[in-house]
């Protein structure tokens, strides 16, 4: 581990789906331990940007770097697959709809990848599952199947699953948007805990209060560009750009 100040770096990211240009020359740097929130209207490209970081949605231009290694290197197919599978082990991702594996218990969801990719023994995997599920407050449900869990519980297991790979970076794509309001907080608490442990995180969210309370920096995106970027106090309280103000105004009204 080197101490790159630019732990995560996105350089001139460009992404088109056919004729539709979704990301237009976006650059972003995240330092180790930093927490960055990405906000913006629906369709502005937040998910696409996040998913470009672990190459789920490959960029059509630009570079993504993590800890001194380029994620989206251009390599022949087989080599690239090997490279990206390795890189992805270091990048945890949490999805809006959890995407837990329904045919596996919480324990199996958490241990599947470490067993398969890191060759953990049964005992090691078991200890890992307990540790990670305990961290998200799901130890009592270790042998439950996803269908037996509430949305908030599912999401906490999904976070434990990502953490079990000991990632250097965690990506959250609207981790609480699919949850009933009363379940949002339990997931937010887990994310706060990660923040306290200085996990580097990039969080796409619609929850301005939560973003303001955990993140070091906020990025406001609209139509594929970063309109405004800065500490939450500034972006939320006294944004410079009219588009940011309009978005926040609308969003606050919507929340009421």
Partner 1 sequence: MDFDLIVRVYPFFIDAAGVTILLSALTALLGLACGALGAAARLSRFALARFVGATYVSVFRGTPALIQLFILYFGGPQIGIELDAFEAGVIGLGINAGAYMTETIRGAIISIDKGQKEAARTLGLSRWQAMYKIILPQAARLMVRPLGVNLNMLIKATALVAAISVVELTYTAQRYIGSTYKPFEMFLLAGILYMIIIYATGRAVAWLDRRVQIT
Ligand X SMILES: Nc1ncnc2c1ncn2[C@@H]1O[C@H](COP(=O)(O)OP(=O)(O)OP(=O)(O)O)[C@@H](O)[C@H]1O
Binding residues (CB under 6 A) for ligand X: these are 17, 20, 22, 40, 42-48
Per DSSP, the three-state class of 219 is strand
Name residues whose C-beta falls within 8 Å of residue 254's C-beta, 6 or more positions apart in sequence: none
Least separation, in Å, of the C-beta of 85 and partner 1?
Answer: 5
Least separation, in Å, of the C-beta of 47 and Mg ion?
Answer: 3
The item of Mg ion, partner 1, ligand X, none sharing an interface with residue 86, based on CB under 5 to 8 Å by kind, is partner 1
The mark string for 227-256 relative to partner 1 (x by CB under 8 A, - otherwise) is ------------------------------
Nearer to ligand X, 98 or 109 (CB): 98
> How close are the terminal C-alpha atoms of the chain, in Å?
46
Rounded Cα–Cα distance for residues 120 and 128 (Å) = 9
| Position 175 contacts partner 1 (CB under 8 A) | no
**One residue of 27, 79, 86, 238 binding partner 1 per CB under 8 A:** 86
Residue whose C-alpha is closest to residue 221's, from 22, 30, 34, 19: 22
**One residue of 9, 44, 47, 109 binding Mg ion per CB under 5 A:** 47
Rounded Cα–Cα distance for residues 91 and 167 (Å) = 5
Nearer to ligand X, 40 or 92 (CB): 40
Q: Is 255 exposed, middle or buried (0-12, 13-18, 19+ CB in 10 A)?
A: exposed
For residue 25 the two structure tokens come to 């020359």
Least separation, in Å, of the C-beta of 138 and partner 1?
Answer: 17
Query: Angle, to 10 degrees, between the axis of helix 122-135 and the axis of helix 106-118?
Result: 130
Which residues sit at the interface with partner 1, rule CB under 8 A?
A: 54, 56, 81, 85-86, 88-89, 91-93, 95, 97, 99-103, 112-113, 116-117, 145, 147-148, 158, 161-162, 165
């Amino acid at each position: 581990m080197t101490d790159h100040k630019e732990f995560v770096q996105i350089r001139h990211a460009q992404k088109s789906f056919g004729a539709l240009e979704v990301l237009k020359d976006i650059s972003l740097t995240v330092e180790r331990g930093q927490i960055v929130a990405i906000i913006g209207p629906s369709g502005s490209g937040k998910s696409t940007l996040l998913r470009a970081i672990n190459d789920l949605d490959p960029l059509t231009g630009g570079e993504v770097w993590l800890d001194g290694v380029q994620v989206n290197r251009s390599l022949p197919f087989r080599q690239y697959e090997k490279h990206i599978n390795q890189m992805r082990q270091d990048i945890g991702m949490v999805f809006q709809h959890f995407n837990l594996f329904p045919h596996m218990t919480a324990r199996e969801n958490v241990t599947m990848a470490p067993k398969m990719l890191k060759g953990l023994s049964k005992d090691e995997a078991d200890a890992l599952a307990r540790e990670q599920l305990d961290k998200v407050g799901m130890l009592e449900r270790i042998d439950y199947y996803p269908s037996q869990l509430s949305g908030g519980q599912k999401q906490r297991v999904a976070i434990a699953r990502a953490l079990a790979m000991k990632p250097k970076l965690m990506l959250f794509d609207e981790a609480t948007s699919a949850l009933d309001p009363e379940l949002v907080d339990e997931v937010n608490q887990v994310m706060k805990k990660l923040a306290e442990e200085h996990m580097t995180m990039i969080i796409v969210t619609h929850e301005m209060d939560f973003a303001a309370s955990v993140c070091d920096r906020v990025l406001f995106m609209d139509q594929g560009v970063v309109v405004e970027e800065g500490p939450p106090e500034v972006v939320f309280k006294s944004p410079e750009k009219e588009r940011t103000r309009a978005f926040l105004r609308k969003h606050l009204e919507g929340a009421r």
